Amino acid sequence: MDTTDLARSIDARGMPCPGPLMSLIGAIREGTVGDTIEVLSSDEGSKTDIPAWVAKAGHELVEVLEDDGFSRFVIRKAR
């Protein structure tokens, strides 16, 4: 995804669990429907926590990419 389409980018690398997920939840609270939000996380727990929360909360996990020592999640606020 082109980063210019992002409503918000959160660089949570180095932040321990549950920081990355909580930062995403905060961004979803503040965002509007249709916004795409990027989260960069080096926390291993995010690989399960973020997709699980996105599914439970009814949003869309657009993309998960593994990079050098971190994961990039792109989420669309669906409701």
Partner 1 sequence: MSPVPARIVVLGGGVGGTLVANLLDKSLGHDAKVTVVDPSGMHDYQPGYLYVALGEASGHWLSRDERTLLRRHVDLAIEEAVRIHPDAQTVQLRSGASIEWDYLVLATGARLMHEEVPGLAEGAFGFYSLPDAERLREELRRFRGGRLLVGVAGIPYKCPPAPVEFTMMVEEYLRKKGMRERSEVTLLSPLNRAFTIESASALIKPIMDERGIELATFFNVEEVDPSAHTVTSLEGEKREYELLVLVPPHRGAQVMIDSDLGDNGGWLPADKYTLQVGDYERIFALGDATNLPISKSGSTAHFEAPVIASRIASQIRGTAPTESYGGRVMCFLETGNGKATALRFDYEHPPVPPQPNRGWHMAKWIFNRAYWETVPQGRLPEHAPGTMPKEVAR
Q: Which residue, 26 or 63, has its beta carbon nearer to partner 1?
A: 26
Q: Which residue, 1 or 14, has its beta carbon nearer to partner 1?
A: 14
Is 25 within 8 Å of 54 (Cβ atoms)?
A: no
Pick the catalytic residue: 17, 25, 61, 64? 17
Helices (H), 13-78: 19-30, 46-57
17 binding partner 1? (CB under 8 A): yes
Q: Which residues bind partner 1 (CB under 8 A)?
A: 15-19, 21-22, 25, 28-29, 45, 49, 52-53, 56-58, 79
